[in-house]
Amino acid sequence: MSKKVLIFSTAYLPLVGGAEIAVKEITQRLTDWRFDLIAAKIKPDLARFEKIGNVNIYRVGLGINFDKFLLPFLGLLKANQLERKNHYDLTWSIMASFGGFLGLFFKYFHSQKPWLLTLQEGDPIRAIFKKVGIFRPLFKQIFRRADYIQVISRYLADWAKEMGSRCPIEIVPNGVDPEYFSQEYPAAELNKLKSKFNKKGEDKYLITVSRLVLKNAVDDVIKSLKYLSKNVKFLILGSGPDLAKLQKLAEELEVKNRVIFLGQIDHKEILKYLKISDIFIRPSLSEGLGNSFLEAMVAGLPVIGTSVGGIPDFLEDRKTGLFCRVRNPQNIAGKVKELLSDNELRRVIIDNGWALVEKKYSWFKISQQMDQIFKKLSEDA
């Protein structure tokens, strides 16, 4: 008989982020487990119940953005209802956010039920505390009442300890599907995409897959174009509140014709854009880990990033990528020039990056690690 896990998450597919992708990739590989998930409805067109992959999804709220604030309360009612029916072996909160508060409240009523907390946070810790505000003492209880904490980087493991966690903490990173991201497309298909952007033989494309918010420092890459030759262009995949500001910046710097805003691209389509590009870059101000880096590495691109958050877990300077300085467009440009001019360095970084991802960051390996955590918690209960 399958063991059962009740998941608490602020949102879930089709709303896509690194955490949502991680849950999907892990659960679809663990078919011996049954997964139910409670999330905020957030959008009116999302179903109150549906099954996606190996997860039964229950959404609560009115279908508005405010639903996430109601999740700890409406979600608790739904969680208690489901618990009476299904008697779960453990609960699993995705991030110390609204799903974390829901997990904490459920723990108050079901103290003997094992509770796993996953940390995927990429925002600066200071920004997280600002959002939490006067609820900071209650927020700390999420870390202190969890029975086990899984984090995606050493950076987040240190944060859990600083927040007063008393339980075991294990690093299990997010991953990628090496087989999918290393596949090749027919030359005609890639040439068609290049033609769409009028990419000529001498053109070089930087690419980022980033939510358009301050922490991802997309503006610094746009500024770096001033120090690079005009054949270097910048593909931006992603959406976010800073879109208009970034478009205005590109216009003011007179690089508008070298910056291509593509908006939100289906995750399955991202690989095509990586394949027509030359360098992946995201000079983050903070980062929980950075799945997009890993996907670019296994797709065969050299990467440039900053030494912040979880990035140093996989990026070793001049071996698996290049570090650039935080908030330094001129330094970013220098790293781009180095990769474009040094073919040997580029090849070393590409080869090492691919090998690292295949060895350590495949979803198959990560799912096995999560399976062991689930088994340990359910058996110890």
Report the candidate in 302, 311, 294, 290 with the shortest Cα–Cα distance to residue 338.
Answer: 302
Strand order in the sheet with 322-323: 259-263, 232-237, 204-209, 279-282, 303-305, 322-323
Q: What is the pLDDT at residue 381?
A: 67
What is the helix (H) or strand (E) element at residue 139, kind and residue range? helix 136-145
For residue 162 the two structure tokens come to 């600083």
Ordered by where they begin, the domains of the chain are: 3-175+362-380 (3.40.50.2000), 178-360 (3.40.50.2000)
Q: Are 277 and 205 in contact (CB under 8 A)?
A: yes
Locus of tokens 């299904």: 86
State how beta strands 303-305 and 322-323 pair: parallel
pTM (2 decimals)?
0.94
Distance CA(306)–CA(287), nearest Å, equals 9
How many Å is the Cα radius of gyration of the chain? 21
The identity of residue 361, as a single letter, is Y
Q: Is 304 exposed, middle or buried (0-12, 13-18, 19+ CB in 10 A)?
A: buried
Q: What is the pLDDT at residue 16?
A: 75
Per-residue pLDDT of the chain (381 residues; tens, 9 = 90+): 689 999 999 999 998 788 999 999 999 999 999 999 999 999 999 999 999 999 999 999 999 999 999 999 999 999 999 999 999 999 999 999 999 999 999 999 999 999 999 999 999 999 999 999 999 999 999 999 999 999 999 999 999 999 999 999 999 999 999 888 889 999 999 999 999 999 999 999 999 999 999 999 999 999 999 999 999 999 999 999 999 999 999 999 999 999 999 999 988 899 999 999 999 999 999 999 999 999 999 999 999 999 999 999 999 999 999 999 999 999 999 999 999 999 999 999 999 999 999 999 999 999 999 999 999 999 976
The identity of residue 180, as a single letter, is Y
